[in-house]
Structure 1
């Protein structure tokens, strides 16, 4: 029996504020007050909305996201690492917890899917993802939606993807059941960028150490022009407080595989990546967030990217053969909906 999930096409409406968004979708709320942050501490889904709405307009810059060859290759590399060899393109794909559309839009440009749909609990993220898709000339619609109750009918998609989303979802198994419901029989899901338990531990400590060192050092008079305004630092601190609420899970790769199988998936496989690369990447990203963007030019961006790329090569060619997979920072997982 097909579940009715309001599978109407999106229309732009004055209440939504989303280009191509569903009429009646909530508008983005980009600036959380201290009172809202406090309320969100006991309401994880409110926290998800406030935090990701706050990040939406600057998220691509913060994480050095682009929609060119660099990130197309990155997204396609993650996909191929767990689902390589598939006949491409898939017809219609859904990105769950789309953020700014980074994963799906770059996969579409890389030939993985012909058309797409994006969903996120954050209206701000859906707005930016649809704008990015429009700028790229891609056939994409979008909705503000909860990953535990996906608003599409059964057997709708050939592929469901997500990047750094599962760790935000309260009930991961329920969400994967929904993913399998909206997939066509034989359809595949691919999720990447999820934190492992061990990797998250060392990444958090590296991030905190870098933030404290940078913000203390930039109090020195001769480094004053490297210091962000106190308003920006305070807003970053409020965002960090929300981040502690929205990051709900870390994963042991084997346990994540078991969750996917319990949801009903077959052909389940998890792989991990980024050990040495994460030891560089987290201090680099934190430093970038702690100083004015104009202080970091092309030379810095080249250093950061080439450093990550070189250490990723070391991870892939050397360390994955000697380091347990649970010690790597990112876990990727794929599975298939059984054929009827």
Structure 2
């Protein structure tokens, strides 16, 4: 559920900082984030879709990530060699602390973290070849100002690319598998032999409870095209991804969140992952090339700063 329309930008930023700081420690486990071959393939596919393709030897020398979180998108791109020097930013110091620890564990060099908000980037003009992010634009209160900042810090000819942004239709569509998941969760737990998750008193008052307030926007493709155009970008691209896979994925997350994580059998996790990937392949090869972007749960957007 999006934040209240009467919420101030200051409140939205405070809520996002507190929630993501609280969520940072368990974030990768909660969302099944992978920094191996699986994660790298997923991230590369998203960037290819957003940009409309990547040439064989294409690399980005200096890249700025907005809303880096724990590094799912950026650290996988660094491992793939698509980014040479990464500046990872987030409003949450807790998330960046996890990202830095993961980068060190992966023995990645040229990774810098900076705590900042997207609307006021502390970087000189024309500092980066790529400004990018994953599932972040919907958290930013003032998108017009943010897009102006993205353009300012890009070098002429530089690219902007964002993936994982919720569409208005897709957000409504996701309510069905979530509700279905809640209904079938008790039967699912009995079937797989998982224990009901205990709800600690602290969980109800902790900053984890702010999850419902951190989202500000859901987009129509026209919204993103307008932002790109008014900020002075050219060659805009807006596409959609994940219809079947996302509906299935929300159902899986809902039932799994009702159980103690360590009690969920490995055979179930293997089935859940393989079935999600199978549906993702159907989306990519069959649905995404033919259906309008607004029908999908996630939107991808890219454009170029004029040379």
Fold equivalence (TM over 0.5): yes
2:82 paired residue among 105, 112, 136: 112
Q: Does the alignment pair 1:201 with 2:172?
A: yes
The superposition leaves residues 54-102 of structure 1 with CA deviations (integer Å, 9 ceiling, x where unpaired) of 1101111011001100000000111111222345221111110000011
Give the C-alpha shift of residue 210 in structure 1: 2.2
- SS of residue matched to 2:303: strand
Q: Which moved more, 1:312-321 or 1:92-101?
A: 312-321
Tell me if the contact between 1:88 and 1:113 (Cα under 8 Å) persists in the aligned partners.
Answer: no
Q: 1:240/1:252 Cα in 2 relative to 1: closer, same or farther (>3 Å)? A: farther
The superposition leaves residues 160-179 of structure 1 with CA deviations (integer Å, 9 ceiling, x where unpaired) of 11000000000112111111
Output aligned runs, 1:28-107, within 5 Å: 43-83=11-51, 84-86=53-55, 87-107=57-77
Output aligned runs, 1:103-252, within 5 Å: 103-138=73-108, 139-211=110-182, 213-214=184-185, 226-231=195-200, 235=203, 241-252=209-220
Tell me if the contact between 1:272 and 1:331 (Cα under 8 Å) persists in the aligned partners.
Answer: yes
Give the C-alpha shift of residue 236 in structure 1: 6.4
Separation in structure 1 between the aligned mates of residue 283 and residue 140 of structure 2, nearest angstrom? 28
- SS of residue matched to 1:226: coil
Tell me if the contact between 1:62 and 1:288 (Cα under 8 Å) persists in the aligned partners.
Answer: no
- SS of residue matched to 1:43: helix
For structure 2, the residue ranges without an aligned partner over 5 or more in a row are: 1-6
Q: Which has the higher contact order (CA 8 A, sep 6+)?
A: 2
Q: Which moved more, 1:239-248 or 1:56-65?
A: 239-248
Q: 1:305/1:184 Cα in 2 relative to 1: closer, same or farther (>3 Å)? A: same
Q: Does the alignment pair 1:277 with 2:245?
A: yes
Tell me if the contact between 2:189 and 2:259 (Cα under 8 Å) persists in the aligned partners.
Answer: no
2:4 corresponds to which residue?
none
- Root mean square deviation, CA, Å: 2.6
- SS of residue matched to 2:288: helix
TM-score w.r.t. structure 2 length?
A: 0.89
TM-score w.r.t. structure 1 length?
A: 0.81
Give the C-alpha shift of residue 218 in structure 1: 9.2
The superposition leaves residues 268-314 of structure 1 with CA deviations (integer Å, 9 ceiling, x where unpaired) of 10111101111100011222222111122432222122111111121
Separation in structure 1 between the aligned mates of residue 27 and residue 226 of structure 2, nearest angstrom? 32
2:277 corresponds to which residue?
309
Tell me if the contact between 2:238 and 2:302 (Cα under 8 Å) persists in the aligned partners.
Answer: yes
- SS of residue matched to 1:249: coil
Q: 1:322/1:268 Cα in 2 relative to 1: closer, same or farther (>3 Å)? A: closer
Separation in structure 2 between the aligned mates of residue 249 and residue 164 of structure 1, nearest angstrom? 11
Number of aligned positions between the proteins: 298
